Structure 1
Amino acid sequence: MTHQEIVKKVEWKDLKDLTFKEMLIENNLTIPWFLISMTLAYFGYYILALPFSAFFFLTGLRQVHNGFHNSLGTNKFLTWFSLYSNSILMMVSIHAVKFNHIRHHKYCLTDEDYEGKSAGMTWYGAILYGPVHMFLIHKITLQLGNKNYIRNVILELTSIAIVVFLVFYFNIYFLIYHFIIMVFAEFLMAFFAVWTVHHDTEESPEYARTQRKEWKNKITFSMFYHLEHHLFPAVPTIKLPELARRIDDAFPDIEKKETF
């Protein structure tokens, strides 16, 4: 079956709209994890802070990913501000990530898909490739992006540099901890955000991997419903469990490769 056949048979357009409660969840999911991790780091409990920092990064990915597809339920400025502020908190130009992610959907796993380069690597190769991946998405955006993307990338990188300088200059140790963890997490993106959901799918790139075990989706905040996301990228993450049920009802025999 083709992508278009699936889109025609599955009801999905009603899932694009968020209720006020859902909008609040999608736009504030990062806050408790960030506050807890920073509080623990402030008092020197760095080991205890680590899982909360990890969940902050994961929920931050969910938030900006919805922002890429205009699925946060907010206006244009608030969506932009979400991407900008998370750039500083997550130590990467989120608009550079957005540019490459939109291209990833358009050119999935082809030579033009710079985000997806690690999908064809071994798992350890994808991990080692992480720093190159982060450098490349900035480089490609500055080379191929339009004026708005270039302006946003420069603004975000400049803001990151200023904040990092101030944090190290004033020796704000709990923020130093946070930035180090975020850089480390960014270096793992080629593995977690690309390889885990796309390896061994080159023959049918539109059929990305997915995760259907409920407890696994709960601890990963539904971020591994990737088959569903590639088929219907406009659907917000909070609606992906329902979308998965609809796809299963319409196409019970559709191939579903698991992420983990």
Structure 2
Amino acid sequence: MTHTEVLKKVEWRDLRNLSLKEMLIENNLTIPWFLISVTLAYFEYYWLALPFSAFFFLTGLRQVHNGFHNALGTNRFLTWFTLYSNSILMLVSIHAVKFNHLRHHKHCLSDEDYEGKSARMTWYGAILYGPVHMFLIHKVTWQLGDRSYRRNMLLELASAALFTTVAVYFNIHFLLYHIAIMIIGEFLMAFFAVWTVHHDTHDHPELARTQRAGWKNRITFSMFYHLEHHLFPAVPTIKLPELARRIDEALPEMEKKSTF
């Protein structure tokens, strides 16, 4: 079944619209996790802070991912600010990630898909590839991105470097903890954000892996509804559970490979 045929069989356009409550959730989901994690780190409860830092990183990915596809329900400036501010807190140029992610959708798992390269690797190879993945994301953006992408990338990297310099110079221990955890998270992106949802799908790249277990989707903030996202990238994450239900109802015969 082709992507066009799926689009015809599943009603999805109404899911692009966010209510005020949904918009507030999508745009503020990271705040409590960040505040709790740095507060615990401030009092040197680092082990207790770890899960909250992980949830901040995960919700940050969800937030910027929606921003990539203009699915936050906000205007152009606020969407840009979401990407910029998360670049500082997550220690990476989110606009560089956006550039490669949109290419990933256009050239999924082909030679032109630099984001998707780790999908061809073993699971441990994807983990080891993590630092190279992050370097390549920025290199490709600089080489292939337009002036706007390069300008945003430089601004975000400079701002993240300033944030890191201040934390190191003044030895702000809870920020140093946060920076260390974010770097680890970024180095695991090739595994968690690419390999888990795309490995062994090269025969049908448009049919990414997905997750149907309710409790697993709750603890991962619906970020593993990846089949649904690739088929309907304009649908905000908060609406993916409903989209999954509609796909299952309209296309029960569609193969749905699980992520974990």
TM-score, normalised relative to structure 2: 1.00
Partner of 1:202: 202
Partner of 1:120: 120
Query: Residues 167-208 of structure 1, C-alpha deviation per residue, up to 9 Å, x if partnerless?
Result: 110111000000000000000000000000000000000000
Partner of 1:156: 156
Query: Residues 223-247 of structure 1, C-alpha deviation per residue, up to 9 Å, x if partnerless?
Result: 0000000000000000000000000
**Distance in structure 2 (CA, Å) of the matches to 1:129 and 1:92:** 17
Q: CA deviation at 1:85?
A: 0.2
Residues 207-246 of structure 1: matches in 2 within 5 Å?
A: 207-246=207-246
Please identify runs of 4+ aligned residues in structure 1 that moved more than 3 A.
Answer: none
**Distance in structure 2 (CA, Å) of the matches to 1:57 and 1:161:** 18
Q: CA deviation at 1:31?
A: 0.6
Q: Which runs of 5+ in 2 are unaligned?
A: none
Residues 64-143 of structure 1: matches in 2 within 5 Å?
A: 64-143=64-143
Q: Which amino acid aligns with 1:235?
A: V
Partner of 1:166: 166
Question: 1:256 and 2:256 equivalent?
Answer: yes
**Distance in structure 1 (CA, Å) of the matches to 2:175 and 2:164:** 9
**Distance in structure 1 (CA, Å) of the matches to 2:84 and 2:112:** 26
Q: Which amino acid aligns with 2:75?
A: N
Question: 1:187 and 2:187 equivalent?
Answer: yes
Q: CA deviation at 1:9?
A: 1.1
Q: CA deviation at 1:84?
A: 0.1
TM-score, normalised relative to structure 1: 1.00
Q: Which amino acid aligns with 2:120?
A: G
Work out the number of aligned pairs and report it. Answer: 260
SS at match of 1:153: helix
Query: What is the RMSD of the two structures over their aligned residues, measured on CA atoms?
Result: 0.3
Q: Which amino acid aligns with 1:42?
A: Y
Q: Which amino acid aligns with 2:63?
A: Q
Partner of 1:35: 35
SS at match of 2:161: helix
**Distance in structure 2 (CA, Å) of the matches to 1:161 and 1:222:** 31
Query: Residues 204-225 of structure 1, C-alpha deviation per residue, up to 9 Å, x if partnerless?
Result: 0000000000000000000000
Q: CA deviation at 1:162?
A: 1.0
**Distance in structure 2 (CA, Å) of the matches to 1:41 and 1:152:** 30
Q: CA deviation at 1:144?
A: 0.2
**Distance in structure 2 (CA, Å) of the matches to 1:245 and 1:160:** 40
**Distance in structure 2 (CA, Å) of the matches to 1:161 and 1:245:** 43
Q: CA deviation at 1:53?
A: 0.1
